[in-house]
A = this chain, B = another copy of it.
């Protein structure tokens, strides 16, 4: 699902309330209608839109009544700043994702507190997927498992907050760097922005003019001009059709 579709769906307060309700428990149309104080017809209409997008799904109970729940796990990030408006949606990364492959970020979810009593080799980043396997019939084992899950939930929630704070810091820093580029270019107020955008487009990989032009939503002619000026300054270099930032 692309971010535009998701933003269209989430732009309605009642649809947001329906999703919040369904996140707490699966519901029948009548429950949603009563909770929201909205007619069943309107609820069905909202659910239809959410269903079409694959955000909710329905099952039928033994009395053949339909009940609804959230079907997807997804994430939307929107950044608004004087230099950037960007929205992206993504599915959560696979639990097997190897955080250690990151170059600038490292994450320590396990062993951070010394009183952890995990005895079964749970191993931070890659352990979550097998954490539920030992919920056996033994009550004590159940309780131990529950305790471990609670601690894991606690660590993940704190990690989530820290990552969010780090993202906010990055966004603020990006704004400053873009303003600095604006100033350093000093080539008319409008162009500085384009130059910062072009550098930004090359920041995550080498690109040809057409791709950059699409990324920064500027005419290829202007992009080419910017690239040539940046090349004359030794900021970027060309290799065949591809442009890259100089080392």
In the assembled complex, which residues on chain B have CB atoms less than 8 Å from the CB atom of A165?
93, 97, 102
Contact in complex: B20, A169 (CB < 8 Å): no
B171 engages A92 (CB within 8 Å)? yes
Judge whether A80 and B70 touch: CB under 8 Å: yes
Q: Give chain B residues whose Cβ lies under 8 Å from the Cβ of A60.
A: none
The answer to the question of A212 belonging to the interface, with a C-beta cut-off of 8 Å to chain B, is no
**Stoichiometry (number of copies):** 2
Chain B residues near A135 (CB, 8 Å)?
180, 183-184
Which residue from chain B places its CB closest to the CB of A198 in the assembled complex? B150
Q: What is the minimal beta-carbon distance from A240 to any residue of chain B, in angstroms?
A: 21
The answer to whether A204 and B95 touch across the interface, beta carbons within 8 angstroms, is no
* Other-chain residue from B10, B22, B112, B197 in contact with A7 (beta carbon distance below 8 A): B10
Complex interface: chain B residues within 8 A of A208 (CB): none
Cross-chain contact A160 with B174 (CB below 8 angstroms): yes
In the complex, the answer to whether A153 meets B129 with C-beta atoms within 8 Å is no
Interface size on A, residues (CB 8 A): 122
> Which B residues lie within 8 Å of A22 (CB)?
85
Q: Is the CB of B233 within 8 A of A181?
A: no
Distance of A203 from chain B, by nearest CB (Å): 4
Chain A contacts to B: CB under 8 angstroms = 4, 6-8, 10-13, 16, 19-26, 55, 69-85, 87-88, 90-95, 97, 99, 102-109, 112, 115, 125, 128-129, 131-132, 135, 142-143, 145-147, 149-181, 183-186, 190, 193-194, 196-197, 199-200, 202-204, 216-218, 233-235, 245-247
Q: Can you show 12 pairs from A to B with CB atoms below 8 A apart?
A: A20-B85, A20-B217, A21-B217, A76-B76, A93-B169, A104-B158, A146-B185, A147-B234, A150-B181, A153-B174, A154-B203, A154-B204
